């Protein structure tokens, strides 16, 4: 069975147990959480997260902790070359997320590479490499998965080559999270998905791909905007996204929806069902 779930919330008092229950209510067999608000670094103590109960419930349903994905907060910018405080704060928050991911028993932590702001992309990449080499030295048994980005502003990671370079220069194994909305927005035409996947394999290597974010896009190919649309409601379209989800080379990969709520309600149960049943 394909491993398909969505982003779910993790909030007090039930924390991870609540996340697992939410995912199960969508008939998901994978899930992704931010371990606190994505835009700040305030985090509840690990002991309060109800990890043991959550793990039991998830496993009782026959699912694996490897398919519980953690997303690092997007305030982290380890590509910042100008402000040493932002850079060291980014490293500290990342280190904390790795500790929490390990405590949860997650295998993958998704991370946005960052933005080089007014500096060059190459200098930004140098800082990302420096930060990852420092932080990962400790050894966490969690794989950081760099996300493919849309190329909004000065974002690093909108070309597979950027991620390949970081992976090559970091002394510890890294993975990749492939976001369909971001790659589309950065100019990879997913209508010819086999071609994109081949390019990914040549530049990065398919064995590095562990997680996919399945999102439609509110913008045209190459718009570099990064605005997620509901499945089948955007420019990528249902058929292409279904092809990605069911691609034989991606069978073992964990797929996560990050589509917007509709009228204040999560669309995930319906989107998961439609994608699951759409095998062609």
Instruction: Lay out the site mask for Zn ion across 94-133 (x = CB under 5 A, - = otherwise).
Output: ----------------------------------------
Give DSSP secondary structure letters for 157-197: -SSHHHHHHHHHHSSS--EEEEEHHHHHHHT--GGGHHHHH
Relative orientation angle of helices 193-203 and 238-245, to the nearest 10 degrees: 40
- Beta carbon nearer to Zn ion, 147 or 165: 147
Name the one range near Zn ion by CB under 5 A: 32-40, 77-85, 141-149, 150-158.
141-149
DSSP state of 36: S
Please report how close the Cβ of residue 147 comes to Zn ion at its closest, in angstroms.
5
At closest approach, how far in Å is the CB of 110 from Zn ion?
6
For Zn ion, the nearest residue by Cβ is 147
Nearest approach, Cβ of residue 158 and Zn ion (Å): 13
Residue 254, beta-bridge partner list: 3, 211
Only one of the segments 23-31, 45-53, 131-139, 146-154 lies at the binding site for Zn ion (rule: CB under 5 A); that segment is 146-154
Task: Considering only the stretches 21-29, 131-139, 147-155, 261-269, report the one whose residues sit in contact with Zn ion under the rule CB under 5 A.
Answer: 147-155
- Count the site residues for Zn ion by CB under 5 A: 1
The residue (of 147 and 185) whose beta carbon lies closer to Zn ion is 147
Instruction: Name the nearest CA neighbour of 210 among 145, 257, 148.
Output: 145
Q: Which is nearer to Zn ion, 147 or 216 (CB)?
A: 147
Which regions of the chain does DSSP assign to beta strands (E)?
A: 3-7, 30-33, 68-71, 108-111, 143-147, 175-179, 209-214, 216-217, 228-229, 254-257
Segment near Zn ion (CB under 5 A); pick from 82-90, 144-152, 194-202, 226-234: 144-152
Q: Which of 142, 140, 152 is nearest to 116 (CA)?
A: 152
Half-sphere exposure of residue 35: CA atoms within 13 angstroms, side-chain side: 31
Considering only residues 162 to 191 of the shown chain, the ones binding Zn ion according to CB under 5 A are none
Site residues (vs Zn ion, CB under 5 A):
147
């Amino acid at each position: 069975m394909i491993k398909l779930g969505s982003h779910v919330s993790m909030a007090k008092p039930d924390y991870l147990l609540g996340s697992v229950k939410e995912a199960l209510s969508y008939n998901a067999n994978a899930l992704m959480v931010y371990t606190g608000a994505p835009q700040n670094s305030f985090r509840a103590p690990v002991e309060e997260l109800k990890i043991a109960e959550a793990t039991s419930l998830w496993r009782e349903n026959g699912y694996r902790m490897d398919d519980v994905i953690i997303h690092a907060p997007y305030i982290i910018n380890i590509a910042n070359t100008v402000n040493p405080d932002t850079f060291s704060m980014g490293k500290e928050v990342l280190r904390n997320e790795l500790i929490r991911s390990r405590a949860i028993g997650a295998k993958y932590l998704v991370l946005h590479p960052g933005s080089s702001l007014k500096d060059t992309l190459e200098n930004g990449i140098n800082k990302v490499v420096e930060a990852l080499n420092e932080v990962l030295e400790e050894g966490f048994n969690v794989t950081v998965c760099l996300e493919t980005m849309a190329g909004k502003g000065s974002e690093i990671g909108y070309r597979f080559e950027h991620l390949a370079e970081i992976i090559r220069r970091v002394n510890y194994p890294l993975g990749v999270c492939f976001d369909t909305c971001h790659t589309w927005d950065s100019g990879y035409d997913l209508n010819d998905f086999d071609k994109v996947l081949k390019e990914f394999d040549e530049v990065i290597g398919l064995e590095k791909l562990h997680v996919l974010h399945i999102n439609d896009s509110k913008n045209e190919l190459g718009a570099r905007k990064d605005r997620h649309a509901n499945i089948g409601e955007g420019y990528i379209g249902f058929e292409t996204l279904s092809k990605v989800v069911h691609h034989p080379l991606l069978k073992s990969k964990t797929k996560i929806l990050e589509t917007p709520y509709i009228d204040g309600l999560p669309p995930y149960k319906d989107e998961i069902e439609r994608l699951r049943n759409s095998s062609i």
